Amino acid sequence: MAVKEYRIEELFKALADRTRLRLINLIGDDEVCVCFFVEVLKLNQPKISRHLAYLRKAGVVAARREGKWMHYRIAEPRDRRAANIFREVRASLANDAGMKRDRARLAQICCAPQLPVQLQKAPRPTGLVA
């Protein structure tokens, strides 16, 4: 079976939406449960899941199921040029004031001694656990 050629336009389409950029930023170097995205971004779960599906199609996030929880992590594109672009975008996001606020909110929620009720059984992102 032939290897499917990478379509760089899929990457650019995935990066052309502020919510998807916010999701990439929130994932960072961690693995994050969808429920935390809902809490931080104040968007409903179906909308966030649609954006994550778009990112998966572009090959920039991967998912793992653990019981009822879906966890997402960054997956670098297989194409070398796309991977370079993606690394640059992520580095740029790390310096954006709005993106920093999102990360701070995620850290505040994850590191709180008492999680909000809707997150109490959710696995916390390991990189943010105090």
CATH code of the domain covering residue 94: 1.10.10.10
Residue 66 lies in a domain: yes
Assign 66 to helix, strand or coil: strand
pLDDT given at position 5: 74
What tokens does 41 get? 């971004």
12 falls in which pLDDT band (50, 70, 90)? very high
pLDDT given at position 117: 57
Residue 2 lies in a domain: no
44 falls in which pLDDT band (50, 70, 90)? very high
CA–CA gap between residue 125 and residue 59 (Å, rounded): 21
Residue 124 lies in a domain: no
If one counts the domains in the chain, the total is 1
CA–CA gap between residue 62 and residue 74 (Å, rounded): 6
Residue 1 lies in a domain: no
This prediction has a pTM of 0.86
130 falls in which pLDDT band (50, 70, 90)? very low
Please, what is the end-to-end C-alpha distance for the chain in angstroms? 47
Mean pLDDT of the residues in the chain:
87
108 falls in which pLDDT band (50, 70, 90)? confident
Domain residue limits at 21: 8-111
What tokens does 11 get? 């990457």
Whether the Cβ atoms of residue 28 and residue 103 lie closer than 8 Å to each other: yes
